[in-house]
Structure 1
Amino acid sequence: MIIGACEWVALPELGIDRLRARVDTGAKSCALHASDIEPIRRDGVDRIRFRVHLGHPRPRDDRDCECLLKAVRRVRSTSGESEPRYTIQTPIIIGHSRWMVDITLTDRGRMRYRMLLGRKAMENHALVYPARTFLQGKPRLDAGF
């Protein structure tokens, strides 16, 4: 699949049908703008609760999410500082394609794009054509594994 410098993505298990993501081959991992991040333990299983804000520059909608916590990873931010981030694993849909990705949760409130699509998520799934944007159109929510 050929994707542009920006693409529409869906994160169906988080209740997100459409979100603009910035494609960044310089970033190893995906990052999602989240607030009110709270680790919890339910039935002996580590989970994470958080709020996703959709829209820019002002959020037009919020989603309260909860899912399994995959890990806490140290991630180097664009400023060069290393910080611990909660990581989840969830399906992503771009165009007609759907696959699992790891996403770190962080404050991207000042960023234009609420999600960053890193190179590990694109590996074996997409090639980037940086001169174009939104080549795949809106995500097809009926896309299967």
Structure 2
Amino acid sequence: MVLRYSAWIMLIFSLLAGAAISAQEKKSPSVFGWIELAKFVDWDTVTKVKMDTGALSSSLHATDLEYFQRDDDEWVRFTIKVENQRGEEEWVQQTFERPVYRFVKIISSNGDGDRRPSVLMKLCLGGEIYEEQFTLNDRSDLTYPILFGRRTIEHLGLIDVTRTFTSRPHCDTDAPVHTIENRKLDEDIGI
């Protein structure tokens, strides 16, 4: 009788331990604060990013936009100027050239429409790299140079609006890269 009881106890503990291990193996979604730090993958600069659930598209502070043709495709040259958050805070700028991914019509809160180019940029957030679509806009009068809209937020994880700066960007050469073509967008995200 005691032996049978002991066998049942061992079986129950084994099942519980197995369930706990399989629950740990499942990756839980990342939780980010409403303000985070991100690093440009091809520019050694860390800057602040605002998670904005009120915006559909992500936006990047860019000035001096120049359009040109390359291999029959439309490209744009632009300058990013941000406050570098790596150690000493200093303003840094870099000029980039990217193919225009598409043009986006942005409707502001006052109802005005604006047609902006959208480009793909890679940013490190936490320990993962995200290729994101950003509209280019002069955000110099705004606090945050980069805004992540719902299209970006939907695959990042969860946003805790009571927290900020939950992790520093720390992507190395074998960091996971989430490219835009490997992503399925939710049809209802624009509502």
TM-score, length of structure 1 as denominator length: 0.89
Partner of 2:119: 88
SS of the counterpart of 1:4? strand
1:91 and 1:99 in contact (8 A); partners too: yes
Letter in 1 for 2:176: G
2:51 and 2:153 in contact (8 A); partners too: no
Partner of 2:145: 114
Note the residue ranges of structure 2 that are not aligned, 5 or more in a row: 1-29, 85-89, 178-191
Matching of residue 7 in structure 1 with residue 36 in structure 2: yes
1:144 aligned to 176, 181, 188, which one? 176
User: Could you report, residue by residue, the CA deviation over 1:111-142 in whole angstroms, capped at 9, with x for unpaired residues?
Assistant: 11111111110112221000110112x21131
Deviation at 1:29, TM superposition (A): 0.8
2:83 aligned to 55, 67, 70, which one? 55
Q: Which has the higher helix share?
A: 2
1:40 and 1:48 in contact (8 A); partners too: yes
Looking at structure 1, the residues matched to 123 and 93 of structure 2 have their Cα atoms a distance apart, in angstroms, of 18
Alignment length (residue pairs): 142
2:58 aligned to 30, 34, 54, which one? 30
Letter in 1 for 2:83: G
Over the aligned positions, Cα root-mean-square deviation in angstroms equals 1.9
Looking at structure 2, the residues matched to 92 and 80 of structure 1 have their Cα atoms a distance apart, in angstroms, of 30
Looking at structure 1, the residues matched to 44 and 56 of structure 2 have their Cα atoms a distance apart, in angstroms, of 23
Q: Which has the higher strand share?
A: 1
Q: Percent identity?
A: 26
Looking at structure 2, the residues matched to 16 and 36 of structure 1 have their Cα atoms a distance apart, in angstroms, of 21
Letter in 2 for 1:60: W
Partner of 1:44: 72
Looking at structure 2, the residues matched to 72 and 124 of structure 1 have their Cα atoms a distance apart, in angstroms, of 22
Partner of 1:77: 108
If asked which structure has higher relative contact order (CA below 8 Å, sep 6+), I would say 1
Whose radius of gyration is greater, 1 or 2?
A: 2
Looking at structure 2, the residues matched to 17 and 74 of structure 1 have their Cα atoms a distance apart, in angstroms, of 29
Note the residue ranges of structure 1 that are not aligned, 5 or more in a row: none
User: Could you report, residue by residue, the CA deviation over 1:70-123 in whole angstroms, capped at 9, with x for unpaired residues?
Assistant: 011101124431100010112221101222211000011111111111111011
SS of the counterpart of 2:151? helix
